[in-house]
Amino acid sequence: MKYLGIDYGKRKIGLAISTEEKLATPYSVLKVSSEGKAIEKIRRILDEENLDRIVLGISEGKVAVETKDFASKLEKSLDIKVLFYDETLTTKDAQEMSIEAGIKRKKRRNMEDAYSATLILQGYLDSQ
């Protein structure tokens, strides 16, 4: 089973994919102009990469409600199962890890959400 990991945000959506060997890797960051366009881009990625499930990072409070709403739209529009995984501190951890890895500031900023999605997806895969 191959997964798409998502770090959801209203302006940017970080994406990661898993291999058959259960290793998550950063994929890309989508700039969101509308949810509909974001869902269509995600549909193309699911098809191109032959992915079976989505793992969506979820936090608490108002953001969690927005994330669950987005998950519901994904499930209905794409006819795919969406699983949730706690995303607490993934952005902070992704920043620290990319600094330790020596990734330059510009690339870190451009890919930060994809790195967070990678941590979300890897955490889910490790828990299985």
What gap in Å lies between CA 95 and CA 111, rounded to an integer? 10
pLDDT in tens, the chain (128 residues): 899 999 998 899 999 999 877 899 999 999 989 999 999 999 999 999 999 999 999 988 888 899 999 999 999 999 999 999 988 756 666 566 666 666 666 655 666 788 889 989 999 999 98
Q: What is the pTM of this model?
A: 0.86
User: Going from the N-terminus, what domains does the chain have, and what CATH number goes with each?
Assistant: 3-127 (3.30.420.140)
**Rounded-to-integer distance, Cα 96 and Cα 76, Å:** 36
Q: In the numeric block, which tokens belong to residue 27?
A: 């994929």
pLDDT of residue 83: 96
Q: What is the DSSP string of 57-122?
A: EE-SHHHHHHHHHHHHHHHHHH---EEEEE-TTHHHHHHHHHHHTT--HHHHHHHHHHHHHHHHHH
